[in-house]
Amino acid sequence: MDRESKLVERIARAFRAGAPKKDAKHRAALRLGIGDDAAIISPGGENDWVFSCDAFLEGVHFLAKTHPPDSVGYKSLVRATSDLAAMGAIPRYFLLTLAIPASRTGAWLEQFLNGMARAARSMKMVLAGGDTTKSDKVSISVNVIGEVARGEGVTRSGARPGDIIYVSGRLGRAQLGLDLLLHGNIRAKGSSRTGTAHAVHALRSILQPHLYPEIRLALGAWLAKHRLASAMIDLSDGLSTDLTRLCQASGVGAEIQSTAIPSLALPAALSKYKGRSGLDPLQMALNGGEDYELLFTVPPRNVKKLREAPGFSQLTPIGEVTRTKNVVLVGPNGTPKPLNPQGWDPFRR
């Protein structure tokens, strides 16, 4: 178990102990609590409510000098909402807790709010409230609230042996963008110091998934509505880490094929980077974080119906759920190796 998951388990334990019996009704209404992508509360009407929260901190998740404030605003809302996509919920509201230095309440805040407002419009979300205070560094916490038809929210825990494991999109794109931003001698606006117009355009599209990620709301909602996925999680911390989490929650294992994983074909403009150790496409696909693609499992009988899914052409079967509790990567030569969680873990030293 990765360190962050262990911490979450400790927190959950602290609050289970000695909980009053009078809570029984509300515990029952809480269909799903801490440990999944989001919490589901079932007030008894047509729809369940889905809640999630996400911290986005200067110096941990973004760098003041590297990341444009517009991206910080955009991304902090989008990444929180990705947890709703992973349950199949439709996002409705969000609350913003914002701590900023007084020196950032001018242009920085303006651009931050513009970016976040753009994300809110594109996802049709309404700001419902928040809290603001001062601090040395920017600290953002976003709370998102969504809806899903009663009982249709997809959790991490329903995967069964034999289910097919799917992933959306190409993995490692966000990691590539981050890597270029940090080490590639380019700026976030997408200009390289020596670049031609063509190269600039290519760079911009490479930075996009890191700075302004798109999330899979339509796919998630469709899978939930048609009850096709047995389990689902969004890829925020990397495939190796998030697949392990899904398997642990479901009490199963997985066998995935390295040749099947939709890793990056590195763009020609980056050919000179190919030799760098950080840019191994398979490693980036397995361990790069922040792709916000969906990883989900589908019982074999449902596989045919997947063809109707929004963005079906971007779905890739990468392996199968197994009865043993091991997560295994099968190499190009057919040799299986344990796949350890090597994605983003804030508490790894």
Q: Which of 206, 191, 208 lies closest to 74, judged by CA?
A: 208
User: Binding of a second copy at residue 65 (CB under 8 A)?
Assistant: no
User: Binding of a second copy at residue 134 (CB under 8 A)?
Assistant: yes
Identify residues 144-183 at the interface with a second copy (CB under 8 A). Answer: 145
Whose Cβ is closer to a second copy: residue 93's or residue 273's? Answer: 93
- Residue 233 Cβ vs a second copy, minimum distance, rounded to whole Å: 14
Residue 52, phi-psi category: left (phi > 0), alpha (psi -120 to 50), beta (remainder): beta
- Residue 125 Cβ vs a second copy, minimum distance, rounded to whole Å: 8
Whose Cβ is closer to a second copy: residue 113's or residue 266's? Answer: 113
User: Binding of a second copy at residue 17 (CB under 8 A)?
Assistant: yes
Whose Cβ is closer to a second copy: residue 101's or residue 299's? Answer: 101
Q: Tell me phi and psi for residue 275, to 5 degrees.
A: -70, -15
C-alpha distances out from residue 232 to 32, 88, 256, 302, Å: 14, 9, 16, 15
The region of 6-14, 226-234, 243-251, 319-327 touching a second copy under the rule CB under 8 A is: 6-14
Instruction: Name which position in 65, 102, 265, 301 contacts a second copy (CB under 8 A).
Output: 102
* Contacts with 80 (C-beta within 8 Å, 6 or more apart), sequence order: 52, 53, 54, 94, 142, 143, 144
Q: Which of 196, 181, 135 lies closest to 290, judged by CA?
A: 181
- Residue 45 Cβ vs a second copy, minimum distance, rounded to whole Å: 5
Identify residues 113-132 at the interface with a second copy (CB under 8 A). Answer: 113-114, 116-117, 120-121, 124, 126-132
Identify residues 74-93 at the interface with a second copy (CB under 8 A). Answer: 92-93
Contact 175, 284 (CB under 8 A): yes
Question: Binding string, 38-57, against a second copy, x = CB under 8 A?
Answer: xx-x-xxx-x-x-xxxxx-x
